[in-house]
Amino acid sequence: MKKLILLSLAVFMLLSFGTTIQRKPYKTIKVTYHGIRYHQKDSTIREIPNMEFLLLANDSISRFEYIPSLGMDKGQKNFLARAKLSIRDVYFINIKQKKYLKQKKLGNYFLIEMPVIMGMKWKLDFSRPRKILGYTCYKAIGEMPVFKSKGQKDLTYKTFKGSQTVVAWFTPEIPLPYGPNRYVGLPGLVLDVYNIDSGGYGYRAAKIDFSDKETEIPEPKEGIRMTFEESGYKMMANFNKIIKENMKKPCQGCDKKKKHKK
């Protein structure tokens, strides 16, 4: 059974990330996601207020990013959720050109060349389907490679490779291998996903719009280009440099003498 599932997935990957993809009646799809968090204690999933994301995709290109709220961004108060849901990141895939990019803002902009299908490895489970937005979805457990940074006493960083476990629900009824963040490469669009090893934070589709018109999906260009392996230490080294430079700057108003009444 496992061999059959792996074979089916391999065939799908070959078709999805090759030169031809099954033609569909729509040309562009627009998916709005809300930020969510899975709570292991009671196995509940709760929506995070003011956290909206957009996936724009067609047969060969996709782009996923955070949507800033109109007016004052109330989500700005939830710093942990903003970090876990990667609101500073843009994920871009161009299958035909074999481009898998992540643009990240950490002091400066960085343009990271990601592994094929963002490095995700999936195991599929077709035993218990569920409905999301009216679409039949199936469960997948994924292993996502990550490079973690650990601060040292001398304010430098050491990096090490690890992995995180992800739970996703995808629908073959929308046969596009995309999803939010790095959660791509499944035989259908990802409508619900959360990262168990990152506090249970994730994304859930709230709205799907189809268009028969072609929409331009821009590729992120700005940023210091580097590989996925390099990103683990180069970004932190740059961020650390900015911190050190700011620490050297004089504090505004600190040199003013306080006047005391006699």
Nearest CA to 118 among 144, 94, 137, 138?
144
Instruction: Give the distance from CA 61 to its chain's centroid.
Output: 15
Give residue 65's pLDDT.
Answer: 96
**Residue 219 corresponds to which tokens in the numbers above?**
């590729």
Q: Output the pLDDT for position 79.
A: 75
Task: Tell me the domain boundaries of the chain.
Answer: 2-244
Q: State residue 96's pLDDT score.
A: 92
H helices of 165-226, where? none
Strands 108-113 and 224-227: parallel
Query: Any idea what the Cα angle at residue 160 is, between residues 233 and 35, rounded to 5°?
Result: 80
Question: DSSP code of 76?
Answer: G
Count CB-CB contacts under 10 A for residue 100. 22
The pTM of this model reads 0.76
CA–CA gap between residue 152 and residue 132 (Å, rounded): 45
Give the pLDDT of the chain (262 residues) as one tens digit per residue: 544 444 344 444 434 443 333 446 789 999 999 999 988 777 788 888 888 999 999 999 999 999 986 444 554 567 778 778 888 899 999 999 999 999 988 778 889 998 887 788 999 999 999 999 999 999 999 998 886 655 544 444 455 577 899 999 999 999 999 999 999 999 999 999 999 988 899 999 999 999 999 999 999 999 989 888 777 666 666 666 666 666 666 655 555 444 444 4
Structural tokens at position 252 = 């505004």
What is the separation, in whole angstroms, between the first and last Cα of the chain?
87
CA distance 169 to 40: 17
CA atoms of 43 and 250, how far apart (whole Å): 49
Q: Which amino acid, one-letter code, is at 105?
A: K
pLDDT at 159: 55
Per the document, the length of the chain is 262
